[in-house]
């Protein structure tokens, strides 16, 4: 915790501003004021950062490295202030200077180096590791362009590049002296020296990996860990270009472009495998740079390579960093001269893997020919791993060729990354109980029977520091006034709040806080979309990536149905609702983009119809991102978690909403099940097919969406409305959604769950009318959300997977 008072902070800030801008604070622009504050906070952080690194160097604690293609950090200023324990002091200091801290915080660009849940989870984990005194660091790519910015123009998604580095990034520190070389292409020369086979990589294309470090500040504990992101640069310097003759010059430019493309842009796909060579390059680039620097650092401080497994843990976030396995083998064998068996033992004990999805279309596999050419030495190692593994299988499963070929790492001309990750790591985990069970019993059953001990569950979590303390200060105040501050370090202490819920005064306060947050969001909606919404209506929210399995279409159909009912009966007695959507669609995912258009069309129709104007409103907000989530979530009454059961591995927004006192309407999917177990059935609204029913339909058939539709007059009307011009003069506009629901038999059971969903929404309507009980439900959700803090999750990873020291026990 930083020991600084308001006056000192004021003085430091004015001085910093002057230094940076050569003018007085009062003459500065807001952006300059933000930058100066950011630079000042970075200065405050640096002392503790240096000390933390020193401490790590001199201690024998295991260092954990979290390898991830994505880190969705959002903004950092507010978090850094909060974790340093000076956000309040800073607010007061700035107030006295006539500056609004929150306004400055709003000027920071989001660091959007991730697609969705997987990248945000990585960011929450970094925060928890630092706050729990765990030496845990991130390793990833410093994409020049992050996840695209989404504009909704004429109801359609338009993608704009996210040039997040346009303004100065005050948080990162370039560490040129820590650069590494990563090698692509070329050939491998094999020779025997002193009776030992040696492999030399020749004629390769070298790429300079340049690290940028960002501090990860722990909560009031003086710990600052590191997120290291790698940028790809050409090896030779600019000057060399001028000395080339014309032919070489063009070649040099080609080289420069090809190298820089590696860290140019984040792939805007999630849950969809993109078999592109550039993606493979990205994956190898950052794992190779990361591992080389880890081993180099380890040896520099006198570490014995044979003890590496006791001193470091490498965690791979989904299969994207799986090349860490053969790369570590390469370093240990070719650079450190260890034999295969020793290198294998170390690698297996060091690496652990998390699976984040069962969607088949997200399973990474690389064409052998492409892989071999790009990574010749790595290919040799993967081939050897596969041969040894298959030999084991032949001995164990005599004659069971189907099973062996399913499990093989290389097969059908592809390298299967999940198989490699399972075979070569000591731990494989899913991200919620149901998801882990599906991995064990279904998707990865062959491997589970072979290695039952490797499989385990680690239900996801979210950092309550960002997702409660920072984004909902009023609720935080109410909590500390009632139950004290212990929940901040021990989030399950939030349970103490439950006993206050009998107090009507507290329930009214909860309602007032929600209303205040809704007012703020209403203003934001008006400012960005020009739509007036009623803060006294139910804020009914579905914000997440747009994807068929998340079923935004189910939400659309029920709004269309409610609209029809209201038109038929203008006196229909419903609690007014505001339906809020936000989310990006992958640029190449037609159905998802079409869904955004449908939402926009419904919004257009409904919002312009005076007959329903006091009852329902529909809003599709632009550019969903971390900082927008921080505004929407505290203002939500009803959280929509309506994925097809079995498809959402966990979900994490479900946890954020409950922590901010929203009631959830959900299918029994992912972590929704565990949320229900915590709050009990009375405090959540559940509907829809269960996992067994869904899996049974997938396996044995028996579902006909046409039959469901033909037996439900509402659905007949609604599906017709999709293609009869009701929502767009161009009748073909939503043909694709119509086809998916009917001609392709509704893969995600939208029509099947429709009736139950509507009934569940009616229950919500009734529950909300009993305002006092509704507030109790909200309170119970808050009180039981502590278990979903990522602190709990990280403790489970630390003890159950990484075997890292658990110093947080002293907290
Ligand atoms: C796959 C691919 C394939 C290649 C192109 C880029 C790319 C990027 C991401 C993915 C996998 C996405 C998996 C994912 O985001 N899963 C989500 O993970 C959350 C954290 O565990 C979890 O809460 C969500 O339920 C799950 O969908």
pLDDT of 806 above 90: no
Residue 384: band (very low, low, confident or very high) from pLDDT cuts 50, 70, 90: very high
Inter-residue contact 375 to 201 (CB < 8 Å): no
**Residue 5 Cα to chain centre, angstroms:** 36
Q: Specify the residue with its C-alpha closest to ligand 1, atom 6.
A: 269
Q: Specify the residue with its C-alpha closest to ligand 1, atom 8.
A: 270
Q: What is the best residue among 68, 115, 356 to mutate for testing ligand 1's pocket, by most ligand atoms within 8 Å of CB?
A: 356
Note the pLDDT tens digit of each residue in 242-279: 555 667 788 888 999 999 999 999 999 888 898 999 99
| Domain limits, the chain | 1-58+76-109, 60-74+112-425, 517-784
Inter-residue contact 278 to 55 (CB < 8 Å): no
Arithmetic mean of pLDDT, 414-432: 98
Q: Which atom of ligand 1 is nearest to the CA of 120?
A: 20
Q: Cα(511) to centroid of ligand 1, in Å?
A: 35
CA-CA distance, 399 to 389, in Å (whole number)?
16
pLDDT reported for residue 242: 56
Q: Which atom of ligand 1 is nearest to the CA of 460?
A: 21
Percent of the chain exceeding pLDDT 90 equals 95
Q: Specify the residue with its C-alpha closest to ligand 1, atom 2.
A: 270
Q: Cα(569) to centroid of ligand 1, in Å?
A: 43
Arithmetic mean of pLDDT, 693-706: 98
Arithmetic mean of pLDDT, 684-707: 98
Q: Which atom of ligand 1 is nearest to the CA of 121?
A: 20
CATH number of 60-74+112-425: 3.40.50.2000
Task: Classify domain 517-784 by CATH architecture.
Answer: 3-Layer(aba) Sandwich (3.40)
Q: Cα(389) to centroid of ligand 1, in Å?
A: 28
Instruction: Classify burial at 297, counting beta carbons within 10 Å of its beta carbon; exposed 0-12, middle 13-18, buried 19 or more.
Output: middle
Q: Specify the residue with its C-alpha closest to ligand 1, atom 4.
A: 273
pLDDT reported for residue 810: 47
**Residue 325 Cα to chain centre, angstroms:** 23
Percent of the chain exceeding pLDDT 70 equals 98
CA-CA distance, 316 to 442, in Å (whole number)?
22
Mean pLDDT of the chain: 96
Q: Which atom of ligand 1 is nearest to the CA of 318?
A: 11
Residue 2: band (very low, low, confident or very high) from pLDDT cuts 50, 70, 90: confident
Q: What is the dihedral of CA 728, 731, 737, 738, to 10 degrees?
A: 130
Inter-residue contact 423 to 398 (CB < 8 Å): no
pLDDT of 240 above 70: no
Note the pLDDT tens digit of each residue in 640-685: 999 999 999 999 999 999 999 999 999 999 999 999 999 999 999 9
Question: Which tokens sit at 495?
Answer: 């349970």
pLDDT of 195 above 90: no
Q: How far is the CA of 44 from the CAs of 14, 38, 40, 88, in angstroms?
A: 15, 10, 6, 16
Q: Which of 144, 545, 558, 784 is catalytic?
A: 545
Q: Which of 435, 507, 544, 584 is catalytic?
A: 544
Beta-strand pair 196-202/187-193: antiparallel
Three-state SS annotation for 182-200: EEECCEEEEEEECCEEEEE
Q: Cα(196) to centroid of ligand 1, in Å?
A: 43
Q: Cα(269) to centroid of ligand 1, in Å?
A: 9
Note the pLDDT tens digit of each residue in 483-521: 999 999 999 999 999 999 999 999 999 999 999 999 999
Inter-helix orientation angle 713-723/750-769, to 10° = 110
Q: Which atom of ligand 1 is nearest to the CA of 354?
A: 21
Q: Cα(357) to centroid of ligand 1, in Å?
A: 6
Q: What is the best residue among 67, 70, 116 to mutate for testing ligand 1's pocket, by most ligand atoms within 8 Å of CB?
A: 116
Per-residue b or e along 40-58, where b marks 16 or more CB atoms closer than 10 Å to that residue's CB: bbbebbeebbeebeeebee
Inter-residue contact 687 to 756 (CB < 8 Å): yes
pLDDT reported for residue 396: 97
Arithmetic mean of pLDDT, 379-400: 98
Q: How many residues does the chain have?
A: 811
Active site residue 625: no
Question: Which tokens sit at 255?
Answer: 């080289």
Q: What is the best residue among 113, 123, 271 to mutate for testing ligand 1's pocket, by most ligand atoms within 8 Å of CB?
A: 271
Strand partners, 210: 231
Q: Cα(789) to centroid of ligand 1, in Å?
A: 20
pLDDT reported for residue 60: 87
CA-CA distance, 602 to 585, in Å (whole number)?
18
pLDDT of 238 above 90: no
Q: Which of 577, 656, 733, 784 is catalytic?
A: 656
pLDDT of 424 above 90: yes
pLDDT of 237 above 70: no
Q: Cα(546) to centroid of ligand 1, in Å?
A: 13
Q: Specify the residue with its C-alpha closest to ligand 1, atom 18.
A: 118
Q: Which atom of ligand 1 is nearest to the CA of 648?
A: 25
Which stretch of DSSP H or E encloses residue 161? strand 156-162
Q: Which atom of ligand 1 is nearest to the CA of 649?
A: 25
Higher pLDDT, 576 or 1: 576
> Which of 629, 608, 606 minimizes the C-alpha distance to 618?
606
Q: Cα(249) to centroid of ligand 1, in Å?
A: 41
Q: Cα(114) to centroid of ligand 1, in Å?
A: 10
Active site residue 144: no
Q: Which of 16, 356, 458, 733 is catalytic?
A: 356
Question: Which tokens sit at 722?
Answer: 């999709």
Arithmetic mean of pLDDT, 318-342: 98
> Which of 522, 503, 515 minimizes the C-alpha distance to 474?
515
Q: Which of 89, 652, 726, 793 is catalytic?
A: 652
Q: Which three-class secondary structure state does DSSP give residue 212?
A: strand
Q: Specify the residue with its C-alpha closest to ligand 1, atom 3.
A: 273
Q: Which atom of ligand 1 is nearest to the CA of 117?
A: 19
Q: Cα(391) to centroid of ligand 1, in Å?
A: 32
Same-fold call for 60-74+112-425 versus 517-784:
yes
Q: Specify the residue with its C-alpha closest to ligand 1, atom 24.
A: 651
Q: Cα(645) to centroid of ligand 1, in Å?
A: 17
Pocket residues: Cβ below 6 A from ligand 1: 115-118, 121, 267, 269-274, 318, 356-357, 362, 431, 460, 648-652, 670
Note the pLDDT tens digit of each residue in 6-57: 999 999 999 999 999 999 999 999 999 999 999 999 999 999 999 999 999 9
Active site residue 784: no
Higher pLDDT, 238 or 713: 713
- Mind giving me the DSSP string for 365-428? EEEHHHHHHH-HHHHHHHHHHHHHHHHHHHHHSTT-HHHHHHH-SEETTEEEHHHHHHHH-SEE
pLDDT reported for residue 809: 46
Higher pLDDT, 239 or 124: 124
Q: What is the best residue among 69, 117, 143, 670 to mutate for testing ligand 1's pocket, by most ligand atoms within 8 Å of CB?
A: 117
Arithmetic mean of pLDDT, 392-418: 98
Q: Which of 91, 315, 466, 550 is catalytic?
A: 550
Q: How far is the CA of 394 from the CAs of 157, 451, 454, 684, in angstroms?
A: 52, 16, 21, 50
Note the pLDDT tens digit of each residue in 544-582: 999 999 999 999 999 999 999 999 999 999 999 999 999
Residue 807: band (very low, low, confident or very high) from pLDDT cuts 50, 70, 90: low
Active site residue 75: no
Active site residue 301: no
């Amino acid at each position: 915790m930083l020991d600084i008072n308001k006056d000192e902070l004021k003085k430091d800030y004015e001085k910093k501003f002057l230094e940076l801008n050569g003018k007085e604070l009062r003459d500065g622009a807001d952006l300059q004021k933000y930058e100066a504050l950011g630079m000042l906070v970075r200065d405050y952080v640096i002392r503790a950062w240096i000390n933390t690194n020193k401490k790590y160097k001199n201690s024998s604690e295991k260092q954990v490295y979290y390898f991830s293609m994505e880190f969705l950090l959002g903004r950092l200023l507010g978090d850094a202030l909060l974790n340093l324990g000076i956000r309040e002091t800073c607010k007061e200091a700035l107030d006295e200077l006539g500056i609004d801290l929150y306004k400055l915080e709003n000027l920071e660009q989001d660091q959007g180096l991730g697609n969705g849940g997987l990248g945000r989870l990585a960011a929450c984990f970094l925060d928890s590791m630092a706050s729990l005194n765990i030496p845990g660091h991130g390793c990833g790519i410093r994409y020049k362009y992050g996840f695209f910015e989404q504009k909704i123009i004429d109801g359609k998604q338009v993608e704009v590049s996210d040039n997040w580095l346009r303004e100065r990034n005050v948080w990162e520190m370039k560490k040129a002296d820590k650069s590494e070389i990563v090698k692509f292409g070329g050939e491998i020369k094999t020779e025997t020296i002193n009776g030992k086979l040696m492999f030399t990589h020749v004629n390769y294309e070298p790429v300079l990996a340049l690290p940028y470090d960002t501090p990860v500040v722990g909560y009031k504990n003086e710990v600052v860990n590191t997120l290291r992101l790698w940028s790809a640069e050409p090896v030779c310097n600019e000057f060399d270009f001028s000395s080339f003759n014309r032919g070489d010059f063009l070649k040099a430019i080609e080289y420069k472009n090809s190298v820089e493309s590696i860290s140019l842009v984040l792939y805007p796909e999630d849950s969809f495998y993109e078999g592109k060579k550039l993606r493979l390059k990205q994956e190898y680039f950052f794992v190779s740079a990361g591992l080389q620097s880890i081993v180099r650092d380890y040896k520099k401080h006198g570490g014995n390579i044979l003890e590496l497994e006791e001193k470091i843990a490498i965690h791979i976030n989904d299969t994207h960093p799986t090349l860490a396995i053969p790369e570590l083998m390469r370093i240990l064998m070719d650079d450190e001269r260890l034999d295969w068996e020793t290198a294998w033992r170390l690698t297996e004990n060091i690496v652990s893997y998390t699976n984040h999805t069962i969607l088949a279309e997200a399973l990474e596999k690389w064409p052998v020919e492409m892989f071999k050419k790009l990574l010749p030495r790595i290919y040799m190692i993967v081939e050897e791993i596969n041969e040894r593994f298959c030999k084991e299988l032949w001995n164990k499963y005599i004659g069971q060729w189907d099973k062996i070929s399913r499990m093989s790492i290389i097969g059908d001309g592809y390298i299967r990354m999940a198989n490699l990750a399972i075979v070569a790591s000591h731990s494989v985990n899913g991200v919620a109980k149901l998801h882990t069970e599906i991995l064990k019993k279904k998707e990865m059953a062959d491997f589970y029977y072979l290695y039952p001990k490797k499989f385990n569950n680690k239900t996801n979590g979210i950092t309550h520091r960002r997702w409660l303390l920072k984004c909902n200060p009023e609720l935080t105040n109410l909590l500390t006034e009632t139950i004290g501050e212990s929940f901040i370090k021990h989030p399950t202490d939030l349970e103490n709040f439950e006993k206050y819920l009998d107090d009507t005064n507290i329930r009214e306060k909860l309602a007032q806080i929600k209303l205040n947050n809704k007012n703020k969001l209403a203003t934001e909606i008006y400012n960005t979309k020009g739509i007036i919404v009623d803060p006294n209506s139910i804020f009914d929210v579905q914000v997440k990536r747009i994807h068929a399995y998340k079923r935004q279409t189910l939400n659309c159909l029920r709004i269309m149905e409610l609209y029809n009912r209201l038109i038929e009966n203008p006196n229909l007695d419903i609690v007014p609702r505001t339906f809020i959507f936000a989310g990006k669609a992958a640029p190449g995912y037609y159905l998802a983009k079409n869904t955004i258009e449908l939402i926009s069309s419904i919004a257009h129709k409904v919002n312009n119809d005076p007959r329903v104007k006091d009852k329902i409103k529909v809003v599709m907000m632009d550019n969903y991102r971390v900082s927008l989530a921080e505004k929407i979530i505290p203002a939500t009454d009803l959280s929509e978690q309506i994925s097809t059961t079995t498809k959402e591995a966990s979900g994490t927004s479900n946890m954020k909403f409950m922590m901010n006192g929203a009631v959830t309407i959900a299918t029994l999917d992912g972590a929704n099940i565990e949320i229900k177990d915590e709050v009990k059935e009375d405090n959540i609204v559940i509907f829809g097919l269960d996992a067994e029913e869904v899996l049974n339909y997938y396996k044995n058939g028996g579902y006909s969406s046409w039959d469901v539709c033909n037996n439900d007059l509402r659905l007949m009307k609604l599906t017709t409305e999709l293609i009869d011009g009701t929502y767009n003069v161009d009748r073909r506009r939503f043909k694709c959604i119509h086809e998916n629901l009917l001609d392709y038999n509704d893969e995600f059971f939208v029509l099947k769950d429709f009736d139950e969903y509507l009934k569940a929404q009616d229950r919500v309507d009734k529950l909300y009318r009993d305002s006092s009980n509704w507030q109790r439900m909200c309170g119970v959700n808050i009180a039981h959300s502590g278990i979903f803090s990522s602190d709990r999750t990280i403790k489970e990873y630390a003890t159950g997977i990484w075997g890292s020291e658990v110093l947080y026990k002293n907290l």
